[in-house]
Amino acid sequence: MTVGERTLRYDPATYFVMSVDLPAVGTLHPAPTGEPYLAVSLTLDPTVLSTLMSDLPKRTEIFEDNAGFSVAAVTPKLMDAWVRMLGLMETPDEVAALAPIYEREILFRVLQGPHGWMLRDIAAPDTAMAKVSVAIQHIRKDFADPIRVESLASKAAMSVSAFHRHFKSITTLSPLQYQKRVRLLQARTLMMTNPGSVSSAAFKVGYESVSQFTRDYTRVFGLPPARDTARIQAEVKPFRAD
């Protein structure tokens, strides 16, 4: 999983925590034995987190790494909670009663882990992470429109310098770089559903120059737009046929 210039590798023995909405790009490396890839995820609910944290002792650790995403090792207790949660697929009549309990336990295990501070920051409205998250939602909502860092800083209730510093620390990207990644990912999706429309996709996501779009796209994804989408479609086609 790559966000900005930072790449994290995770496998069945680890879990990935993302506390803010990030324009991440993932690469899957199939198992040599041919086993299928399966991933599960849990959307973080700030309300559930706040309720859970009120029952936990206060923690005062200071963390040097303020990035809004990271990887940690799965513990047996966390894995056990996930197995019980997934087991509910076989007993759907028990979901309403037991799923909230298992979700609470999963969140509890993550809160007790090395990256629990991320979850705590999500639920606390006055943290830098929560404020940056507000700005991120504005960028994603209007990603095709020009942005002003001063306006985003105001929405986040920060000075411009503090906002830029915290935004970069949490996302590894500047606000403008973040917007560019969102635009490129949106364009990639558009071209997958409408192959061959490179210029149309570029203009729809806010680019004014197709050549600039092509350069940015190639820098991020490693191939020009048309070749990249053709490669993805060629890889996906066999799975669709099955």
Tokens of 29: 């490396």
Of 55 and 134, more confident: 134
Q: What is the pLDDT of residues 84-118, one digit of tens each?
A: 999 999 999 999 999 999 999 998 998 888 878 77
Express each pLDDT in 145-194 by its tens digit. Answer: 999 999 999 999 999 999 999 999 888 899 999 999 999 999 999 998 87
Query: Mean pLDDT lowest for which of 51-55, 200-204, 226-230?
Result: 51-55
The pLDDT confidence band at residue 47, using thresholds 50, 70 and 90, is confident
Q: Percent of the chain at pLDDT above 90?
A: 42
Where does residue 196 fall: left (phi above 0), alpha (psi -120 to 50 degrees), or beta otherwise?
Answer: left
Q: Is residue 81 within 8 Å of 102, Cβ to Cβ?
A: yes
pLDDT at residue number 66: 64
Which residue ranges make up each domain of the chain? 2-123, 128-174, 177-241
pLDDT of residue 16: 86
Which CATH architecture does the domain made up of 177-241 adopt? Orthogonal Bundle (1.10)
Taking alpha carbons only, the member of 21, 120, 16 closest to residue 70 is: 16
Q: Please state, as a whole number, how many other Cβ atoms lie within 10 Å of the Cβ of residue 92.
A: 8
> Which pLDDT does position 63 carry in this prediction?
46
What pLDDT was estimated at residue 81?
95
Mean per-residue pLDDT over the chain, rounded? 85
